[in-house]
Structure 1
Amino acid sequence: MIYLDYAATTPMSEEALTAYTKAASSYFGNSSSLHDIGSHAAQLLHICRQQLAELIGGDERGLYFTSGGTESNLLAVRSMIEAHRHKGNHLITTATEHASLYHLFQQLETEGYEVTYLSVDRFGQIDLAELENAITPQTILASIQHANSEIGTTQPIQEIAKRLRKHGVIFHSDCVQTFGKIQVDVQKMGIDSLSISSHKIYGPKGVGAVYIDPRIKWTSCFLQATHEFGFRPGTVNVPGIASFVTAAQQACEHLADEHARLEHLRQYTISRIHEKRLPVAIEGHPDAHLPNILGLSVQGMEGQYAMLECNRYGIAISTGSACQVGKQAPSRTMIAIGKEEDEAKQFVRISFGKWTTLNEIDRLLTVLETICQQRKE
């Protein structure tokens, strides 16, 4: 099976697996226990917190480990808005956020918050002028993703941060898809908070992290929670965290070379689509994009059909975010960039990873060509 769905999840690397096994064997204690076995686990947890904070250019005092990207997004936003609710009730986000955030903001509207959903252009980027116009004296937080998980378009985070900071608005960014693929540095980006996840960078599932600048106040969502400095309850997954940080270190160490390799695969795929004259349109921003995600619209064919046919030929691709599988509605991202409902349903996503080869790309394009020809007949 050819795997081209790395944006959904990645297999664990050998290094991450080794780190997990060693930590689970030697540091199995509860990091909150006061005996030596617990203290040893707490020491490893402290080292992991320092190392991951360093990778994102942050202060270790603001790093909290979670069960993954979705929980990170939910707890980050809820913890910060609860602490600042006395300042206002207006929030800003985008129409193309990950489902975890989009649905959270919909829920917050039922709890008395006013939410502005910024539109995006045909490439998936927000309008900075629209952002500035959306800010009011009641605005307390904005959550704008670093990159879209379906078409890979990145947002001008530093410019966004400048505008929000000028008005004293807290800035959270979902960096789950970008961490380990492009540089993520909270200081250079000017963000107050971010979310990242382990399983997108060859670490284990069920592990993630939130960063909140220590200068930003937050209120725990859980009464009398004791773990992670009160940020969340539950025994801390020290072996998973050690494995996550190992994977993160590797991803960041090889980031530049891997970025170049993945971008080459992406451009190769686009050029071969044009050469073969396939009825396939490229979605997303031509320049501001992740190197590993390529959104495609297969004209005259539903994406789900294309995905299932590719699967029949032994190729794994997707119709968008794995968190939306089974939903009947077309992609929110496709609708947001101006597609009609029928057009939006033609979307498929291919995403590359460390084991993707040019031969696999050639095989995918041959299969797509076959599927398109069969559809015509």
Structure 2
Amino acid sequence: MIYLDNAATTPMSAAALDVYVKAATEYFANPSSLHEHGEKAKQLLETCRREISKLIHAKPSEIFFTSGGTEGNIRTLQSLYAANKHKGNHVITSVLEHPSVQTFFLALEKKGVDVSYLEVDSNGLIPLEQIERTLRPDTILASIQHVNSEIGVIQPINDIGNLLKKHGVLFHSDCVQSFGKLPIHVDQFPIDAISISSHKIYGPKGIGAVYLSRDTPWEPVDLLTTHEHGFRPGTVNTPGIAAFTTAASDAVKNQENSLNYIWELRNFFFEEMKEIQHLIKVEGSKNQQLPHIIGMGIKGFEGQYMLLTLDRFGICISTGSACQTGKQDPSIAMKALNKSAQEAKRFFRISIGLQTTKQEITTIADRIKNSVMGKGR
């Protein structure tokens, strides 16, 4: 198998798996229990909280563990909105957001809240001047992702945050695709909250975290909740959190070398595709791009055909966000970029991982070229 769907999920690293087994064996007690083993599990939980906070330059009290990116996005936005809805009736997001974020804002619209959906340019970037035009005196909250999961475009969240802060607007960013791959320093970013996830960086599924600035007001969504300081209900997954922390620490420690390696593989892929480059359309920005994600289309071929063709040879790619699988509509990114129905059908995504080799890149490039150049023979 050649696995090139790492934006959907990554395999667990050996280090994360080892820690998971050890924690599940030795720290299985409920951290909320008052006995000795409960206290032992609690100490491990708080050690992980401190470690995650260091990785993004936050305070331990600003980190809340969740079940992953989707819950992190929705629960954070609900908590921020609940505490600040008295200040105004206008919120902002973009047309490029993850379905979990879109779900929250659609629910607000049904309650009569004014929601502005920012458009993107041909590269998938949100122009700052558009944000400035959209802001109103009653704007209270904005959520704009850091990196898009389908085309890998990097939004300038530092500039966006500065603009929103100047107008007193709370700012949340979905950093699920960027955490562990790009530097995130919340003490330098003008940002109130971010969501991150474990299984995008070689940790276990079902675990994530949220950063909520201690200077930002928020309210619990569920009454009588005591876990995670009232942020979410349910017994915490201590082994998963320990494994997540291990994976996150490794990702941040090796961030620069990993980024250089992925760029090398990405550039090598396009070198290998030279023969058919005139047929290829790569989506996203050349200058503000996460190299791990290659969102592209090939003239004359549907993305679904390419996925099924490569799958026959044990090569795993996708036709967009895994969260949209099974829907007949074009991907979120393709709709946001105003692609025609034909262009949207061509789209497929290759997402490179740290386990990917040059030989695997050569293999997938050859398979794609054979499919394209062999058409009609």
Counterpart in the other structure of 1:64: 64
Aligned residues: 377
Counterpart in the other structure of 1:242: 242
Provide the C-alpha distance between the structure 2 equivalents of 1:307 and 1:275, rounded to a whole number of angstroms.
Answer: 20
What is the deviation of 1:233? 0.4
State whether structure 2 residue 338 is matched by structure 1 residue 331. Answer: no
Counterpart in the other structure of 2:340: 340
Provide the C-alpha distance between the structure 2 equivalents of 1:180 and 1:29, rounded to a whole number of angstroms.
Answer: 29
Provide the C-alpha distance between the structure 1 equivalents of 2:213 and 2:248, rounded to a whole number of angstroms.
Answer: 20
State whether structure 2 residue 146 is matched by structure 1 residue 152. Answer: no
Provide the C-alpha distance between the structure 2 equivalents of 1:308 and 1:190, rounded to a whole number of angstroms.
Answer: 43
Counterpart in the other structure of 1:181: 181
- Other structure's SS at 2:290 match: coil
Provide the C-alpha distance between the structure 1 equivalents of 2:174 and 2:282, rounded to a whole number of angstroms.
Answer: 24
Provide the C-alpha distance between the structure 2 equivalents of 1:3 and 1:89, rounded to a whole number of angstroms.
Answer: 45
Provide the C-alpha distance between the structure 1 equivalents of 2:159 and 2:212, rounded to a whole number of angstroms.
Answer: 19
Counterpart in the other structure of 1:307: 307
Counterpart in the other structure of 1:163: 163
Deviations, residues 221-260 of structure 1 (Å, cap 9, x unaligned):
1111110001010001011000000000000000000000
Deviations, residues 319-346 of structure 1 (Å, cap 9, x unaligned):
0100000110011211222311210111
The answer to whether the 8 A contact 1:81-1:141 is kept is yes
- Other structure's SS at 1:91 match: strand
State whether structure 2 residue 290 is matched by structure 1 residue 290. Answer: yes
What is the deviation of 1:27? 0.8
What is the deviation of 1:278? 5.9
Provide the C-alpha distance between the structure 1 equivalents of 2:232 and 2:336, rounded to a whole number of angstroms.
Answer: 34
Counterpart in the other structure of 1:51: 51
Counterpart in the other structure of 2:123: 123
Alignment of 1:1-377 (within 5 A): 1-277=1-277, 279-377=279-377
The answer to whether the 8 A contact 1:198-1:205 is kept is yes
Provide the C-alpha distance between the structure 2 equivalents of 1:113 and 1:272, rounded to a whole number of angstroms.
Answer: 50
What is the deviation of 1:61? 0.9
Mind listing any 5+ residue stretches in structure 2 that lack a counterpart? Answer: none
Give percent identity, aligned residues only: 50
Provide the C-alpha distance between the structure 1 equivalents of 2:274 and 2:82, rounded to a whole number of angstroms.
Answer: 50
The answer to whether the 8 A contact 1:270-1:282 is kept is no
Provide the C-alpha distance between the structure 2 equivalents of 1:82 and 1:168, rounded to a whole number of angstroms.
Answer: 17
- Other structure's SS at 1:186 match: coil
The answer to whether the 8 A contact 1:278-1:369 is kept is no
What is the deviation of 1:39? 0.6
Provide the C-alpha distance between the structure 2 equivalents of 1:36 and 1:278, rounded to a whole number of angstroms.
Answer: 66
What is the deviation of 1:189? 2.2
- Other structure's SS at 2:320 match: coil
* AA matched with 1:7: A
* AA matched with 2:55: L
- Other structure's SS at 1:84 match: helix
Deviations, residues 98-148 of structure 1 (Å, cap 9, x unaligned):
111112211211022111100001110001001011111111110000011
Deviations, residues 290-323 of structure 1 (Å, cap 9, x unaligned):
1211111121221111101110121100001000
- Other structure's SS at 1:141 match: strand
What is the deviation of 1:264? 0.9
Mind listing any 5+ residue stretches in structure 1 that lack a counterpart? Answer: none
The answer to whether the 8 A contact 1:296-1:347 is kept is yes
Provide the C-alpha distance between the structure 1 equivalents of 2:44 and 2:283, rounded to a whole number of angstroms.
Answer: 43
What is the deviation of 1:275? 4.0
Provide the C-alpha distance between the structure 1 equivalents of 2:278 and 2:176, rounded to a whole number of angstroms.
Answer: 32
Provide the C-alpha distance between the structure 2 equivalents of 1:337 and 1:310, rounded to a whole number of angstroms.
Answer: 26
| Pair 356,278 (structure 1): closer, same or farther in 2 beyond 3 Å | farther
The answer to whether the 8 A contact 1:292-1:353 is kept is yes
Provide the C-alpha distance between the structure 2 equivalents of 1:106 and 1:187, rounded to a whole number of angstroms.
Answer: 31
The answer to whether the 8 A contact 2:273-2:369 is kept is no
Provide the C-alpha distance between the structure 1 equivalents of 2:10 and 2:285, rounded to a whole number of angstroms.
Answer: 24
Provide the C-alpha distance between the structure 1 equivalents of 2:126 and 2:332, rounded to a whole number of angstroms.
Answer: 15
What is the deviation of 1:374? 3.6
What is the deviation of 1:271? 2.6
The answer to whether the 8 A contact 2:307-2:316 is kept is yes
* AA matched with 2:317: I
* AA matched with 1:10: T
Provide the C-alpha distance between the structure 2 equivalents of 1:45 and 1:89, rounded to a whole number of angstroms.
Answer: 38
Provide the C-alpha distance between the structure 2 equivalents of 1:91 and 1:272, rounded to a whole number of angstroms.
Answer: 45
Provide the C-alpha distance between the structure 2 equivalents of 1:299 and 1:264, rounded to a whole number of angstroms.
Answer: 25
Provide the C-alpha distance between the structure 2 equivalents of 1:130 and 1:146, rounded to a whole number of angstroms.
Answer: 17
Provide the C-alpha distance between the structure 1 equivalents of 2:144 and 2:8, rounded to a whole number of angstroms.
Answer: 20
Provide the C-alpha distance between the structure 1 equivalents of 2:87 and 2:341, rounded to a whole number of angstroms.
Answer: 39
What is the deviation of 1:280? 1.7
- TM-score scaled to structure 2, two decimals? 0.98
What is the deviation of 1:376? 3.5
* AA matched with 1:126: I
Provide the C-alpha distance between the structure 2 equivalents of 1:68 and 1:225, rounded to a whole number of angstroms.
Answer: 18
What is the deviation of 1:188? 2.1
Deviations, residues 184-231 of structure 1 (Å, cap 9, x unaligned):
111222211000000000000000001110111111111111100010
The answer to whether the 8 A contact 1:57-1:187 is kept is yes
